[in-house]
Structure 1
Amino acid sequence: MRRDDLIDYCLAKPGAEESYPWGDVELVAKVGGKAFAFIGMDGDSVGVKCGRTAAEADEYRQRYPDDVRISDYIGRYGWNSVRYHGGAVSDDEVRELVDRSYDAILAKLPKSKRPA
């Protein structure tokens, strides 16, 4: 998957918006003001929520030890950094992980912040 395709996929989600809190280094895809994907602009990885805890997210790290690692700073909350280009994780699975991350964040939003 190419970066532009991943960005387009993330931003096509209902209520999704892009943010650049650290300049042009990383695009953060958000829904209701909360991040569901961190896309590095210099590399080929996306940070997504893969479980409620690091232990739940560990399944992906075990399945793809060369392409999935615990996310810096937020990994203990179930976030992984997933290599989306040139690795073993298929495009379909990357999209599925983005979907799951989006759904997890959406479920925690108050109804007033959820997209219509």
Structure 2
Amino acid sequence: MTRAELIAHCLAKPGAWQDTPWEDDVVVKVGPKIFAFLGSGATVGVKCAPTREAADEWLHRFPDDAAVMPYIGRSGWNSLTVGGAIPDEEILEAVDESYRWVVSKLPKKDRP
């Protein structure tokens, strides 16, 4: 899966929009909240679970291709390597799940 395909998948979600708050980094938001971090490398940062403990499943399954995201990892965010051991369909499912987690925490007036 290419970076462009991953961004297109993210932007196909209802209410999703692209932002570049930091140089060379793309994020995809729903309402005011980020649900996918797409840095300049071959990784995507997503909310994998509501807790750090639950998100650690990714680290156990894919120790070389999943890592705790700096600063926000304690809240269940992981960085997943695209094009590594994690199948593309699982990465897309992780993006979909991240979107669902973020939307569920939005105020009703901001939900798509």
Per-residue deviation at 1:11? 0.6
Q: How many residues were matched structurally?
A: 112
Q: Which residue of 1 aligns with 2:77?
A: 79
Question: 2:92 is matched with which residue: 77, 95, 106?
Answer: 95
**CA offsets, 1:59-105, max 9 Å, x none?**
001100000000011000000000012x0111100100000000000
Per-residue deviation at 1:112? 0.5
User: Which structure 2 segments of 5+ residues have no match?
Assistant: none
Poorly superposed stretches of 4+, deviation over 2 Å: none
Question: 1:56 is matched with which residue: 54, 57, 82?
Answer: 54
After TM superposition, the structure 1 = structure 2 runs for residues 1-116 of structure 1, keeping only pairs within 5 Å, are 1-23=1-23, 25-41=24-40, 43-85=41-83, 87-115=84-112
SS of structure 2 residue aligned to 1:51: coil
**CA offsets, 1:7-43, max 9 Å, x none?**
00001100001111112x21110001100000012x1
User: Which structure 1 segments of 5+ residues have no match?
Assistant: none
Q: Normalized against structure 1, the TM-score is what?
A: 0.94
Measured on the aligned residues, the alpha-carbon RMSD in Å equals: 0.7
Q: Normalized against structure 2, the TM-score is what?
A: 0.97
Per-residue deviation at 1:55? 1.0
Letter of the 2:31 counterpart = G
Per-residue deviation at 1:53? 1.5
